Structure 1
Amino acid sequence: MRNPFPNPRRRLSLPLSLLAAVLLAGGITLLTLWCQPNSFRGLLSGFLRQPLLIVLNALPVGLLLLAAAALLRNVFFGAALVNLAVCALSIANRVKIEVRDEPVFPRDFALLKEVGSALESYDIHYPAAQIAAVVLVTAALLALGVFIGCKPFPAKRLRGWAGSLAGFALSLAVLTGLIFTVYASKGLYQSFKVSNAEYVPAVFNDLGFPYAFCHHFTTYLVDRPEGFSRAGAEEWETGDRTGLGKDVSVIMVMNEAFSDITDAPAFPYTEENDPLPNLHALRRDPHALSGHVVVPGFAGGTANTEFDVLTGMQTMALSASTTSAMRAVNRNLDSLFRVFGNDGYETAFCHPGDNWFYNRENVYRWFGAEESLFIGDMEAPEYKGRWVTDDYTADLIEGAFEKARAPLFHFTTTIQNHMSYTADKYGPGYRFPPTGISGLSEEAETLLSVYVEGVRDADAMLGRLWKYFDAQSEPVVLVYWGDHLPYLGNDMLGYKELGVDVAPGPDGRENLAAYKTPYVLWANDSAAEVLDWDNAAEALDLPETVSACFLGAAVLELTGRGEESPWFSFLNALRRELPVVQKSTYQLADGSFTEELSGEQRELVQKWRRWGYYKLQYKEVP
């Protein structure tokens, strides 16, 4: 076929071609950064203070340009292709941040077929100036390629397609190697100063889209379980039903860092000054079940516990590397919200923190919550120090219950007792009751006294909700537990001085004491009557210690919904066989521990992992 373009009038030598590639890569990088939603001038100012970011953003653009130039045998044609592709991604990132407060990740390529429906769901304002600039620059580069070519490579063997393919492959190989080494480095990524390290869109904006995008090729990974079959997993997704359960409102409250470490022998508390009087009293109520949940993280990872309880999947099983369960979610998922919602319940999530933290604003929509309430939506929130109080959060729960026109499923994550437990946590001059423990270091005394103050307020919240729902004629089940143990100083300082062992064993086995938080599951008199409490509680077979991922399924079974979802039904069966699964540590139904499962038990765990992977990656949930 005849070339429609005339032969270029000028051809650049190899050195000039390489120089052109460097200059063009720099220009494309600047245009890519200009397409971001933040201030371009402010971004460049930050780069001048941290010049390594200039290299980290330009390098992937330059390597892509070399690959395209080698393949097309023209540095300007290659630059046009890379400019269009990279800037289009940057504009997509801008649009996604503006409409969903979330940047573009590499994993989004797996969701291209869902883009159409997403475009229909949002009022999108496309950045016309940026789009026009990208189109014009691309057209200019194509025009330059028509009139300015590149001289053949000096080595004859590399002048044909073999050389072009070799240059293309080598450039991509170098880029791939950098992505899995330099760009994958968490230490390097976290070493740069950003305006808000917890807010992922802000990190993308401050570090530059090309660098941040390349870094996230190796984050939020979900490993494909051995032996996974998509067709096989689809066969398990049969038998969903609705309407089997009893109409009792379910209020689930996960309290920040709530624990019963004050029950440790080192604390000299009596009935008169017990920080947990309501928890201890509620445990003795005839309509209560209590014990401990084994959560996925120690001293952090609140959202991972939310994910485990609500979905029945396990954060620690998603990837061999550390991952954030919420950041691994990018599609509609089955959850407690959907089971209750399908039975006509009103469903809501409440958290007196920012909606972007852990990407909760998007994730709870994907979980199926009809309503989500965050700090920006709350009227006159009450603070104790920098965090919203548990008492104010109890107000919100009671208000939601009173406004509900149908049975309510309500899930709350509190925030008041969030770290750090420093003397100024509740403001200067705040006086904390001493622990009464002799021999503590000054640092440990501060950590513990500040933390216990938050525990008192958390227990007071439990007592308030207990009293409130006990007075209601409508049937209500209240579930209350902690998301993780508190951080009490470097090298487990507070725990060591208390004599509480939360360190892993010498052989590397998990010490479950590091992951146990208290739970209590209680029904008011009306709910106890509706559920036939004594028989329902006995049939539940809920042990003293259970993995957090089984807690939600147990609540469904208690309310008569154990067979509505094949997934949650399976979880209840698995819980009866292996109530605790924590990495390679398993607790059996008789309370004994093992690291060697029987063949049948191993098959159950494998099915759990494969089924969860199918739900997270493939299942279409309307």
Structure 2
Amino acid sequence: MKIRDHFPKFRLPWWGSLLAAVLVSGCITLLALWCQPNALRSVLAVFRGQPLLIVLNAMPIGLLVLVFACLFRNVFFGAALVNLAVCLLSIANRIKIEVRDEPVFPRDFALLKEVGSAMGTYEIRFPWGAIALVVLTTLALAALGLLVGGKPFPVRRLRGALGRLLGAAASFAVLTGLILTVYASDGLYNSFRVSNAYYIPSVFNELGFPYCFCHQFTTYAVDKPEGFSRAEAEAWDEGGETGLGKDVNVIMVMNEAFSDLTDADVFAYTEETDPLPNLHALQSDPHALTGHVVVPGFAGGTANTEFDVLTGMQTNALSATTTSSFRVVNRNLDSLFRVFADDGYATSFFHPGDDWFYNRENVYRWFGAEETVFADQMTDLQYKGRWVTDDYMAGLIEEEFQEAVDAGEKLFHYTTTIQNHMSYTADKYGEGYDYPDVPLTVSVSEEVETLLKVYIEGARDADAMLGRLVDHFSASGEPVVLVFWGDHLPYLGDNQLAYAELGLEVALPEDDRTDPLCSYETPYVIWANDAAAEALDWDQATADLDLPENGRLSASFLGAAVLELTGRAGESPWFDFLNQLRRVVPVVQKKTYMIPDGTYIKDRDLDQWAPESGATGAEIRELIQQWRQWSYYHLRYKDIP
């Protein structure tokens, strides 16, 4: 005789079981919301103004209760299991936010081994009161299951195991369908009012953990490349020898929205009024390489450019759908930081913004940066309008460099600036700010004139930052290589408004342009001071890079080129491969490729590409496929302590 048969049973009809499932699901939802880091009353206040959130948070819990109620033939046993699982997951979310300022995502289930090893590195304060309440509620639901059962289903054929399995399968199918449709909807997700849409932990707290967790099942996807073999990719990664590079300091500065837009013929700047005098001077400097880097996106996606440059992977190749590269990073990755650190360098990352934005605080730890400094750790911040100035960041970089010199260390440093971030409205730098006129050969609207004045003021300050750093490192006897580039073109009005009024190709459909990738190109400079030029044998080292004549490179190849320039060929099989690929196809941008002579090839024409010299389309495709497969291995499997 079963233990539960000793207990008197009150048996609910099928509609009573369904009603009980609804009620207990609501209670479980409330308990899961109570387990979040923020107060339950603040969550409910948001829900009162947006009642659909109540349904979206309770629905998946209710369907899970039905799944297990069918399997156990008891709604309370099913509710007990769901309560324990959902609420403990909500508590895990609370702990993760408190420890790492990042919520729990579905993809975390694939990282249980890493989670277990990482827990020992954090001081975790377990919410024992919440845990105790969850356990007690689970036991209470299980006890109810011993006392309250359900009457047999009215349809005789469905009373046995078949009916239980069909009921569970149907409930689970509905849940799956909702996750792939309703919960996957970015339009619905973005329609809810939140205090800060860019701060993911805050969004989870305000919209509810159950809903946000379900939404994340279909976001930030990483597609498995065709033909992927983990063993084969692991073999590609073997080899490499540290300590081969030249001892030169490397300073990389990715400047917000930095571009040479003002070089277009439609602008009538003179030598005296040129907003980019330092960039132009370096274009003829014997110790400088200049060109354009092709970045992942237009007018946004700063973190995606960081990802491409530092890892050598490509954001645009991670998934067939749009994704955010920093949101798919959840493990230690190969990066420039690790290569330089293995050579004994001090490594650091600076950004005068919030550490939670794009999850940079965690991502740069996974990249291997020894030191990360964000706005809240910087002192005496200097602002121009609402953003920290490029000039302030130049001073901070100079201090970081001097500290490394004083400590007898070589420095690899990466800064992402923020001053020239949109929006480019007249009040950006304060009411009444006097912007220099923008000389044009065409007439533009007042709105576009304002956009240009404000944006170019920031570009002028970015160029001044470049000039300041060059002057500072020119005066140093320590060898320094400076890399300076823009993360993307500026956003100048809806539907490329300013670009259209200026008559620039950026506003045209890609197939109508003479340069199909002009909307993704920003200038870069790789410059060496005298000491670094001597240490590297600059002329020979730059000639050996085999850069294309037009100087264009995908952002994913910029970091690899810097490693080779500083003598680090042979240290990393991954970055060596990128330099090999760069020589065959310097630009890969979605479905467009550029070969070394500057010719662009569309993906649809690649298989028919058979030149008399150089790589065939089939060879290019094979290399790109290897790149994608190797990238997937790094993101999913490579174990870096």
Match of 1:530 among 524, 532, 535: 535
Confirm whether residue 413 of structure 1 aligns to residue 420 of structure 2. no
Match of 1:94 in 2: 94
- Offset, 1:541: 1.1
- Offset, 1:279: 0.3
Match of 1:131 in 2: 131
Counterpart residue identity of residue 527, structure 2 = W
SS in 1 for 2:166: helix
For residues 22-37 of structure 1, the aligned pairs below 5 Å read 22-37=22-37
Deviations 1:390-441 (A, max 9, x none): 0000011001000012110000000000000000001111111111225110
- Offset, 1:113: 1.1
Confirm whether residue 603 of structure 1 aligns to residue 608 of structure 2. no
- Offset, 1:305: 0.1
Counterpart residue identity of residue 474, structure 2 = D
SS in 2 for 1:289: strand
CA contact (8 A) 1:553 1:562 kept: no
| Structure 2 Cα separation of the partners of residues 240 and 163 of structure 1 | 59
- Offset, 1:590: 1.4
- Offset, 1:6: 2.4
Match of 2:560 in 1: 553
Deviations 1:107-156 (A, max 9, x none): 00000111211110100001111111101100100111001111111111
| Structure 2 Cα separation of the partners of residues 240 and 47 of structure 1 | 55
Counterpart residue identity of residue 604, structure 1 = L
Counterpart residue identity of residue 637, structure 2 = Y
- Offset, 1:508: 9.2
- Offset, 1:4: 5.6
Counterpart residue identity of residue 160, structure 1 = G
Counterpart residue identity of residue 620, structure 1 = D
Deviations 1:560-615 (A, max 9, x none): 00210000000000000000000110000111111233211111000000000000
CA contact (8 A) 1:12 1:150 kept: yes
Counterpart residue identity of residue 36, structure 1 = Q
| Structure 2 Cα separation of the partners of residues 260 and 289 of structure 1 | 16
Confirm whether residue 461 of structure 1 aligns to residue 468 of structure 2. no
Match of 1:476 among 473, 480, 489: 480
- Offset, 1:506: 6.1
| Structure 1 Cα separation of the partners of residues 386 and 327 of structure 2 | 26
For residues 93-172 of structure 1, the aligned pairs below 5 Å read 93-172=93-172
Moved over 6 A (4+): none
Q: CA RMSD in A?
A: 1.2
CA contact (8 A) 2:282 2:288 kept: yes
Match of 1:209 in 2: 209
- Offset, 1:2: 4.4
Match of 1:495 among 499, 503, 520: 499
For residues 345-424 of structure 1, the aligned pairs below 5 Å read 345-404=345-404, 405=407, 406-424=409-427
Match of 2:640 in 1: 621
Counterpart residue identity of residue 630, structure 2 = W
TM-score by length of 2: 0.96
CA contact (8 A) 1:503 1:511 kept: no
Match of 2:547 in 1: 542
- Offset, 1:511: 2.6
The count of residues paired between Structure 1 and Structure 2 equals 622
Match of 2:224 in 1: 224
| Structure 2 Cα separation of the partners of residues 83 and 553 of structure 1 | 50
| Structure 1 Cα separation of the partners of residues 242 and 141 of structure 2 | 59
| Structure 2 Cα separation of the partners of residues 119 and 508 of structure 1 | 54
Counterpart residue identity of residue 64, structure 1 = L
| Structure 1 Cα separation of the partners of residues 361 and 506 of structure 2 | 33
Match of 2:588 in 1: 581
Match of 1:594 among 594, 601, 607: 601
Match of 2:198 in 1: 198
TM-score by length of 1: 0.99
SS in 2 for 1:183: coil
CA contact (8 A) 1:199 1:356 kept: yes
| Structure 1 Cα separation of the partners of residues 234 and 478 of structure 2 | 39
Deviations 1:461-484 (A, max 9, x none): 000000000000000000000000
SS in 2 for 1:502: helix
| Structure 1 Cα separation of the partners of residues 5 and 94 of structure 2 | 36
Alpha-carbon spacing, 1:508–1:273, altered in 2? closer, same or farther (3 Å): closer
Deviations 1:32-72 (A, max 9, x none): 00000012111101100000000000000000000010011
Alpha-carbon spacing, 1:508–1:320, altered in 2? closer, same or farther (3 Å): farther
| Structure 1 Cα separation of the partners of residues 390 and 511 of structure 2 | 40
Confirm whether residue 449 of structure 1 aligns to residue 458 of structure 2. no
Match of 1:514 among 490, 497, 519: 519
| Structure 1 Cα separation of the partners of residues 512 and 415 of structure 2 | 34
CA contact (8 A) 1:6 1:146 kept: no
| Structure 2 Cα separation of the partners of residues 3 and 49 of structure 1 | 47
Q: What percentage of residue pairs aligned between the two structures are identical? A: 69
| Structure 1 Cα separation of the partners of residues 558 and 225 of structure 2 | 24
CA contact (8 A) 1:64 1:82 kept: yes
| Structure 2 Cα separation of the partners of residues 374 and 6 of structure 1 | 63
Confirm whether residue 612 of structure 1 aligns to residue 612 of structure 2. no
CA contact (8 A) 1:219 1:323 kept: yes
Alpha-carbon spacing, 1:388–1:16, altered in 2? closer, same or farther (3 Å): same
SS in 1 for 2:76: helix
Counterpart residue identity of residue 557, structure 2 = F
| Structure 1 Cα separation of the partners of residues 62 and 86 of structure 2 | 11
| Structure 1 Cα separation of the partners of residues 394 and 150 of structure 2 | 70
